[in-house]
Amino acid sequence: MSALLDTYAAWPFELDHGRNDVVVSADGVAYTDWYGGHCVTLTGHCHPHVVGAIKAQADKLLFYSAAAKLSIRERAADALIAHLAGAGVERVFFCNSGAEANENALKMALKATGRKRIACFEGGWHGRTLLALSATDDPKIVAPFAPFLVPATQLPFNDIGALLATNFSDIAAVIVEPIQSMSGIRTASSAWWQTLRARTAAAGTWLIIDEIQTGLGRVGASSASLLMGIKPEAMTLAKGLASGMPIGATLFSASAASTIRQGDLGSTFGGGPLAMAALIATLEVIADEDLIERAARTGALLKAQLPGAAVASVLGEGMLLGLRTHEPGASLKKHLYDRRMLVGASGDPHVLRLMPPLTISDDAVAALTSAINELGA
Ligand code: PLP
């Protein structure tokens, strides 16, 4: 037995390598990766431009912390803000993971407002660190650690009445995913988002939008906030931001950033040069290959093609989709696995998730469609 702690239920094969939308097991079986390495491989596995940028940077400087000024770190921050033009965020702090990005956003809101409570939503998922966990609705991973350092009010999602009935004046921040992924690709109405923004703004409460799954192009826009016309105090990114190099980012509006002082945030590895090189290359690939447009187009195609005998409806946007199944999703997941296609489960037993590279090929789309439609034949 390996010394590695056994905390994950992994695929039943050993993975050896990957290229674009395909991963290959140690015994040579190729699978189409609709799971996207856990919603990470935005540009596909081992995109040559990203790999080349990482190699070139590794030859130049493998690491230096933020104790040293590095032009690549500043260029990465500028490129990211430019990519998100119109989303209302202007300054960036780099860290190493999604949970850390959320932790930083929540901490800065607690400090800026002087309040001692946060709010979150039923079905939300924000990470495994204690502050992120306190805002997460997943009893099996949350219950053993309660009560938390910072109390969290959990509100129903997509319920305008509940927003109107909540007094936000003692709440430092509300944290929310644009599309609740883990709990089953759940979305809210535009009117709900507008009400949430108006209520939090009126109370001086920060709105933190967790775009760790939805950000950068996956939903067919450079961010879901932009698609919804909502400008937050803070936005968090991780997952595909550097095509698989560990990274997280907390982005702040100009007014939120003005409350942050030197020493308020820190991270040894955050903003390391390898992750920065991968981030810049990732943004270049997204632009050069029109991946945002491609995500929107592929998503629309699947929404039109997949409903039928096995799939009741397709939820979500772009390349963050939920297949609502008539029967429990596990049997469709197995059917697809047997045809060498990897898809994700969710907290809803009737929703399977697709979160592939935005570069997923037309052949893969056709193969998935025919494998699912086979079930109606
Ligand atoms: N927020 C969302 C929406 C997530 O899906 C995840 C991870 O799945 C996280 C935060 C936490 O990210 P990480 O695992 O990088 O800490």
Distance 20 CA to ligand 1 centre (A): 22
Contacts with 82 (C-beta within 8 Å, 6 or more apart), sequence order:
none
- For ligand 1, residues with CB inside 6 Å are 97-99, 102, 125-127, 177, 181-182, 210, 212-213, 238
Ligand 1 site-directed mutation target among 103, 137, 239, 320, most atoms within 8 Å of CB: 239
Q: According to the model, what pLDDT value does residue 142 have? A: 85
- Do the bridges between strand 311-317 and strand 320-325 make them parallel or antiparallel, or are there none, so unpaired? antiparallel
Name the phi and psi angles at 201, rounded to 5.
Answer: -60, -45
DSSP bridge pairs for 323: 314, 352
Query: Smallest Cα–Cα separation from 354: which of 41, 36, 43?
Result: 36
Could you count the other beta carbons within 10 Å of the beta carbon of residue 274?
21
- Cβ atoms of 210 and 236 within 8 Å: the answer is yes
For tokens 């690491």, what's the residue? Answer: 63
pTM to 2 decimals?
A: 0.97
pLDDT of 202: 98
Identity of the residue numbered 67: A
CA of 125 to the centre of ligand 1 (A): 7
Looking at the chain, which runs of residues are DSSP E strands?
A: 15-19, 22-25, 30-33, 91-95, 117-121, 152-155, 171-176, 206-210, 234-237, 248-252, 311-317, 320-325, 341-342, 351-354
- Which pLDDT score, from 0 to 100, does residue 377 have? 62
Q: Which residues pair with 33 in a beta bridge?
A: 342
On the 0-12 / 13-18 / 19+ scale of CB atoms within 10 A, 288 is exposed
* CB distance 240 to 216 below 8 Å: yes
Pocket test for ligand 1, best of 8, 126, 179 (most atoms within 8 A of CB): 126
Q: List all residues 6 or more positions away from 179 whose beta carbon is below 8 Å from its beta carbon.
A: 185, 186, 187, 213, 214, 219, 224, 316, 317, 320
With H, G, I as helix, E, B as strand and everything else as coil, classify residue 229. Answer: coil
CA torsion sign for 158, 115, 89, 100 is: negative
Q: What's the chain's length in residues?
A: 377
Instruction: Say how many C-beta atoms besides its own lie within 10 A of residue 289's C-beta.
Output: 16
Q: What is the whole-number distance in angstroms between the Cα of residue 226 and the centre of ligand 1?
A: 20
CA 132 to ligand 1: nearest atom? 10
Q: What is the DSSP letter of 148?
A: P
Residue 98 Cα to ligand 1 midpoint, Å, equals: 5
Distance CA 320, CA 38 (A): 11
Residues of the chain with pLDDT under 70: 377
Residue 60 DSSP symbol: H
Upstream peptide bond of 147 is cis (omega within 30 degrees of 0): yes
Closest-CA residue to 206 (of 107, 121, 127, 126): 107
C-alpha 373 – ligand 1 centre gap (Å): 32
Nearest CA among 38, 12, 9 for reference residue 337: 12
- Give the tens place of pLDDT for each residue, 298-327: 999 999 999 999 999 999 999 999 999 999
CA 377 – CA 309 distance, rounded (Å): 9
Separation of CA 237 and ligand 1 centre (Å): 9
Cα 123 to Cα 70: distance, rounded to the nearest angstrom: 39
For 50-82, write each residue's pLDDT tens digit.
999 999 999 999 999 999 999 999 999 999 999
